[in-house]
């Protein structure tokens, strides 16, 4: 008894779809002075919506929005654009200069992950914009269900010292939540003149082998041709977290090339590109929603019955 080739197609398509929804994409983007005025630019918001909607969790940096109107506008765009329900969690305005106060903002798909804790690092003398740690739960869609994301938008002139002090942040937040699955991400200014090869011996995230840098030193995360610098980085702690990440998924997202935008339209959003990484899914069928699994069983049964009928 053999199945006809036509009966295979629905099942194959279903399996491909189930496989495509597995895992999580985590992104980090310096969106360069994202404020209320910028949020009224429809072209910028349309592009930003397309960028953020690719991600299950997206860290935005250099958000200047103490009133929350710009972030609210972005959430409205996302929730109209996509079938997912988007939420945001934000730090307070951070900085030492009244003219340059910024927020860290995580935008996430609430059907994919949930926020179970947040913590503002309490030693502002260590950073110009102290990290704002958020504890996420992936709702059993990834190999690691609970993890901590820690952003940093470093002060360029203090990049070496601030990146090194992330080790102190790691010790504090991992103890606070009893979880060492910690990911650091953001615009570290970790390259070119700000952080040289010689500087690495003074940065514990480099000298301690427990930390893995997922965006390479030769990568260019900047838009303009005047620079070729790996400023934006993603760093994870521990082998268990590293093994839960898809190999070679740490990369820059060149949305200008992908969305076929001119350089001027790209720079209108930011002079940085986003960086991203993907977590492995916990399994194929286990990932699928109940309705999808029911449909899958139905397809298999119908295909089997069809093959019996044709053989008779």
| One domain for residues 225 and 272 | yes
Number of domains making up the chain: 2
d(CA 268, CA 261): 11
239 and 249 share one domain? yes
Per-residue pLDDT at 306: 59
**pLDDT at residue 193, rounded to an integer:** 96
Do 31 and 179 lie in one domain? The reply is yes
Which residue, 181, 50, 17, 26, is CA-closest to 113?
A: 26
Tell me: do 10 and 76 sit in the same domain.
no
For 177, half-sphere exposure in the C-beta direction (CA atoms, 13 angstrom radius) is 22
The reply to whether 303 and 206 lie within a common domain is no
Model-level pTM?
A: 0.85
1 and 142 inside one domain: no
User: Tokens for 93?
Assistant: 């305005």
* pLDDT at position 139: 85
Q: Are 123 and 184 found together in one domain?
A: yes
Ranges in the chain, pLDDT < 50: 1-7, 9, 11-21, 284-288, 292
Exposure b/e, 172-198, CB count within 10 A at least 16 = b:
bbbeebebbbbbbbbbbbbbeebbeee
Terminal alpha carbon distance of the chain: 10
Do 73 and 156 belong to one domain? yes
The verdict on 58 and 143 lying in the same domain is yes
Residue 163: domain span? 23-282
Strand runs (DSSP E) across 84-171, as ranges?
86-90, 103-109, 114-120, 132-137, 146-151
Q: Are residues 18 and 128 in the same domain?
A: no
> The CATH number of the domain where 186 resides is what?
3.60.10.10
Distance CA 28, CA 133 (A): 14
Q: 294 and 206, same structural domain?
A: no
pLDDT at 151: 98
Do 254 and 208 share a structural domain?
yes
Which is it for strands 146-151 and 251-252: parallel, antiparallel or unpaired? unpaired
């Amino acid at each position: 008894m053999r199945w006809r080739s036509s009966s295979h197609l629905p099942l194959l398509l279903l399996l491909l779809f189930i496989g495509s929804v597995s895992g999580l994409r985590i992104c980090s983007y310096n969106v360069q002075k994202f404020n209320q005025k910028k949020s009224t630019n429809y072209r910028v918001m349309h592009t930003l919506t397309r960028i953020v909607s690719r991600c299950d969790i997206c860290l935005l940096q250099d958000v200047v929005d103490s009133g929350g109107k710009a972030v609210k506008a972005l959430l409205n765009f996302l929730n109209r654009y996509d079938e997912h329900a988007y939420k945001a969690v934000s730090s307070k305005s951070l900085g030492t200069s009244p003219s340059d106060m910024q927020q860290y903002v995580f935008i996430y798909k609430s059907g994919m992950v949930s926020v179970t804790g947040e913590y503002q690092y309490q030693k502002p003398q260590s950073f110009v914009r102290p990290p704002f740690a958020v504890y996420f739960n992936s709702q059993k869609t990834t190999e690691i269900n609970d993890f901590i994301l820690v952003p940093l938008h470093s002060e360029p002139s203090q990049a070496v010292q601030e990146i090194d002090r992330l080790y102190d942040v790691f010790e504090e937040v991992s103890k606070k939540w009893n979880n060492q699955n910690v990911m650091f991400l953001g615009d570290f200014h970790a390259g070119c003149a700000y952080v040289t090869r010689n500087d690495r011996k003074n940065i514990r995230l480099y000298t301690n082998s427990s930390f893995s840098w997922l965006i390479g030193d030769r990568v260019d995360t900047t838009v303009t041709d005047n620079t070729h610098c790996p400023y934006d980085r993603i760093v994870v702690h521990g082998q268990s977290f590293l093994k839960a990440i898809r190999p070679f998924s740490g990369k820059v997202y060149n949305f200008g090339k992908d969305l076929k935008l001119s350089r001027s339209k790209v720079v209108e959003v930011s002079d940085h590109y986003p960086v991203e990484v993907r977590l492995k899914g916990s399994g194929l069928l286990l990932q699928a929603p109940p309705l999808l699994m029911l449909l899958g069983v139905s397809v298999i049964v119908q295909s089997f019955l069809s093959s019996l009928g044709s053989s008779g």
